Amino acid sequence: MLTPPSNDISAISAALTSGDLGQLIYDRAANIFPICRSITGIGVRNTLQQLGQIIPIAQRHIPSGTKLYDWIVPDEWTFREAYIADVAGRRLVDASNNNLHVLNYSASVNAIITRDELATHIHTLKSQPDLIPYRTSYYVRAWGFCLSQQQWDALPPGPFHVVIDTTHTPGHLSYGEYIHHGDTFEEVLLSAHICHPSLANDNCSGLAVLTTLAERMQTIRTRYTYRFVFAPGTIGALAWLSQNEQQLARIIAGLTVSCVGDAGGPNYKKSRRGNTLIDRAMSHACRTASPRPEISEFSPYGYDERQYCSPGFNLPVGSFQRSKWGQFPEYHTSADNLNFIRPQHLAESARTIAQTIDILEDNWCPISLSPKGEPQLGQRGLYVTSPTGDTTAVDANMASLWVLNLADGAHSILDMAERSNLSFTVLASAAARLKAAGLLAAYAPPSTALKRQRRRFKIKPDQPK
């Protein structure tokens, strides 16, 4: 049953209004940007520790070798240094300048080799000759360097001293979890991947936005429980799913959050189920935030929604981004750096997610207590007059009319927003005013006094959606 919110409406959005939100999120993304992360190892734990200074994140550790459905937790990767030097010892390429230079999860090497031999271990981007690519080799053991094409072309003829000092040893896969407890056990899952090294949009941005949102929600009482999960891509999401399989029925909505700091989008990809509460709430929030949001249907490629929406789980989890992964030139290159993400875009992303949460929190099903004809709003001081006819007053009056008309117990405020093309916030405010004036009550299941009231008024609600 959806009852009116116990909080003021838009409480989560209101919690984001103090301070310079964008700069705060940006600084937090910048703090974790330099850390050399991978799917396992100290980089993930150091990142969780940094974010753990903002909210109390619990770290979970799954031992290497643990079977997770069709996958196995790999060994821990420890990275110490990687460089290409000339035989005199002068370092020509050094991963201490940019951790993208080392193939992520690379095997170790220490050898003097020719340029031709080295060429088979070099990754460049011919079409973007000034950028270093981000490459991984998680499930095939290989060593390698990633260079800009210009760097590679400028290297001398060789021979070279190549050093990659790494180890792969049994350890743990680590992920982080923070839970904001609500009044019910029903949960909203907010998930970001934490396995990429120095890439700002993909996905320091998602980690910083969600951490800040969790921090600001701390003092707010919510209807739902919010579970924030920061896990390495794919294997980390599978680890979380395997640890929580008995409780997945609690998840009523979820989002993967990535690439939320650039100027593109917003983009929302629906859950596999396609018309769940999160799909509707997020679509509405994106349309409110932007004149041209892109709302797309589910596809089995992208981030960890692939795992959450796999058929054995089929959770109502969508994906929120600004520019879509793989479709911006900076994607998986050294150009996805701290100049590429901007405070105002980070703030806008946080606000869009906050508005979505407000929709989940503030949604309810009203029933009119004066359903025969329109109640007289003016007499009750509920008709907003505006000599200039400004749109706020017009919208407020239209919202009152829509709410009263659809208040048959079968329409939620979100249903009304979709049908009226008015914003959820305007309708929720109108519903709160009408309820305070005694014109609405919360629709309760037909075993209560409201059932009698429905019978008395002979209200035949439409079938719920």
Binding region for Zn ion (CB under 5 A): 202
Which CB sits closer to Zn ion, 203 or 222? Answer: 203
Residue 203 Cβ, how far from Zn ion at the closest point, in Å?
7
Question: Pick from 176, 180, 174: which is nearest to 192 by CA?
Answer: 176
Residue 202 Cβ, how far from Zn ion at the closest point, in Å?
4
Question: Pick from 213, 209, 210: which is nearest to 11 by CA?
Answer: 213
Which CB sits closer to Zn ion, 202 or 361? Answer: 202
What are residue 373's phi and psi, to 5 degrees?
80, 170
Which residue intervals of 60-123 are DSSP H helices? 115-119
Which CB sits closer to Zn ion, 174 or 258? Answer: 258
Residue 98 Cβ, how far from Zn ion at the closest point, in Å?
16
Which CB sits closer to Zn ion, 202 or 305? Answer: 202
Q: 346: helix, coil or strand? A: helix
Q: Which residue in the shown chain puts its C-beta closest to Zn ion? A: 202
Query: Cα–Cα distances in Å, from 412 out to 268, 402, 406, 419, 457?
Result: 22, 11, 8, 11, 20
Beta-carbon neighbour count of residue 19 at 10 Å?
9
Residue 80 Cβ, how far from Zn ion at the closest point, in Å?
24
Task: Take residue 82 and report the two structure tokens written for it.
Answer: 């990687």
Residue 434 Cβ, how far from Zn ion at the closest point, in Å?
47
Which CB sits closer to Zn ion, 206 or 266? Answer: 206
442: β partners: 366
Residue 341 Cβ, how far from Zn ion at the closest point, in Å?
14
Which CB sits closer to Zn ion, 202 or 330? Answer: 202
DSSP category for residue 67? E
Residue 104 Cβ, how far from Zn ion at the closest point, in Å?
11
User: How far apart are alpha carbons 198 and 278 in whole angstroms?
Assistant: 30
User: How far apart are alpha carbons 74 and 66 in whole angstroms?
Assistant: 8
User: What residue has token string 């799917």?
Assistant: 39
Which residue intervals of 33-114 are DSSP H helices? 42-51
Which residue intervals of 218-340 are DSSP H helices? 235-243, 277-289, 305-308
Residue 200 Cβ, how far from Zn ion at the closest point, in Å?
12
Which CB sits closer to Zn ion, 196 or 216? Answer: 196
Question: Pick from 393, 408, 394, 405: which is nearest to 441 by CA?
Answer: 408
- Cis peptide leading into 300, omega within 30 of 0? no
Which CB sits closer to Zn ion, 317 or 427? Answer: 317
